Structure 1
Amino acid sequence: MIAVLTGMGLSAAAGLNAYIPFLVVALIAKYTDLIVLPSAYGWIESWWAIGIGSALLLTEVVVDKVPAVDTVNDAVQTFIRPTMGGLLAAATAGAAELDKSVEMQHPWVGMLLGVVVAGIVHVGKTTARPAANVATLGMGAPVLSTAEDGAALGLSLIALFVPLLVIVALLAVLAALGWLVWRARSARRRRVAGSHQ
């Protein structure tokens, strides 16, 4: 159960930003014994993977804060974020399997769960951001992007260090995304109603 919660938390984080949970897992696996990745996923902690992940994170952090460009970035990330969620869920489930006292499901189950969780969070993000951009005339993009990056980092750390809190954190992220969509649509309706008067 702990491995499933860890995979879900990392997948949810990947739905917000694919590269933050990847780098968290890579660096913790490389420098600590908290995560021992199976040999099939050992490449995650290689210098070249960390380097590429860092470059992609830097790009994501910059482009995600620019209104309209963030929407294009979200479209590009539609394949990447769920894939990364599945990869991280499978890798951490495989890491749990190294502990022989842990009985895990088939690795594809963890991967599929990761893809679904990351996909749901990604859809919430891609729905909330354009609505918020319109409602704030683009001024909210950098603030929301920074909050999403912080949430991705927080979810990643919770998933690895306190996995029992993953469900609460995941519900909080989904509630926040839903609230953003509702607020943005309400503001847009008020603006439209005001322009007709």
Structure 2
Amino acid sequence: MLEIATGSGLALSAGLNAWIPLIFLGVLSRFTDLVELPGTWAWLENGWVMAILVVLLVLEFAADKIPVLDSINDVVQTVIRPTAGGIAFGAGSMSETATVTDPAAFVQSGQWIPIVAGVVLALGTHAAKAGGRVVANTISGGTAAPVVSAAEDATSIGVSFLAVLAPLAIIPVLILFVVGVILLIRSLAKHRRARAAGHGGEDAYYV
């Protein structure tokens, strides 16, 4: 149960920032006793891997705070964040799923489930983030991008800490996540209907 909560929290974190939970796992595993990665995920604590992840983190940290560029970054991250979520869930839940030598046995064993769960959670978080960013940029003319991005980074760090140090605290976070996604979907749907109605009114006027 705790392992699942940890993996879920790290996957949610990856949906906001792909690199934070991966760096978090690598650093804690290499320098503390809080996390002990299984052999198949031990590459996360490799010095070169962590250095590359830090560079990628810095690049995304900058790109995500610049209007227009942040939207382009979100498009690129549509593949990266879910992938990171699958890795984070698998490593965080201590699942031996990184090496697949027999695909049929892998499917039958159910070892793919943590990775898929992480991908789904991260993808949902990423979609909510990207959709929310569009709304925030539209309302503020792009000026909200740095503030919103900083809040997302802080949330990603906080959720990663909770996932490892207080896994049970992730349960209400998951509930809030589901509620937030539902509210965001409704908000986006309402916004689209309003825009469609506005365009319809203009067309009717000119006709």
Asked whether the two chains share a fold, i.e. TM above 0.5, the reply is yes
- Is residue 87 of structure 2 the alignment partner of residue 87 of structure 1? yes
Structure 2 match to 1:36: 36
Q: What is the percent sequence identity of the aligned residues?
A: 37
Which deviations, in whole Å up to 9, do the C-alpha atoms of 1:83-127 show, x marking residues without a partner? 11101111122269xxxxxxxx84311111101100111111111
How many residues align? The count is 184
1:81-160 to 2 correspondences below 5 Å: 81-94=81-94, 106-160=110-164
The 3-state SS of whatever aligns with 2:93 is helix
Give ranges in structure 1 of 5+ residues lacking alignment: 97-104
Tell me if the contact between 1:121 and 1:174 (Cα under 8 Å) persists in the aligned partners.
no
Q: Distance in 1 between matches of 2:76 and 2:90?
A: 23
Q: Distance in 2 between matches of 1:170 and 1:59?
A: 28
Q: Distance in 1 between matches of 2:178 and 2:131?
A: 12
Amino acid at match of 2:19: Y
Amino acid at match of 2:81: R
Quote the offset at 1:167 in angstroms: 1.9
Quote the offset at 1:173 in angstroms: 4.4
Structure 2 match to 1:102: none
The 3-state SS of whatever aligns with 1:169 is helix
The 3-state SS of whatever aligns with 1:36 is coil
Tell me if the contact between 1:89 and 1:114 (Cα under 8 Å) persists in the aligned partners.
yes
Find the structure with the greater CA-based Rg.
2
Give ranges in structure 2 of 5+ residues lacking alignment: 97-108, 203-207
- Is residue 79 of structure 2 the alignment partner of residue 75 of structure 1? no
The 3-state SS of whatever aligns with 2:37 is coil
The 3-state SS of whatever aligns with 1:107 is coil
Q: Distance in 1 between matches of 2:181 and 2:155?
A: 11
The 3-state SS of whatever aligns with 2:36 is coil
Q: Distance in 2 between matches of 1:12 and 1:143?
A: 20
Amino acid at match of 1:112: V
Amino acid at match of 1:165: A
Structure 2 match to 1:99: none
The 3-state SS of whatever aligns with 2:62 is helix
Amino acid at match of 1:6: T
Q: Distance in 2 between matches of 1:110 and 1:177?
A: 21
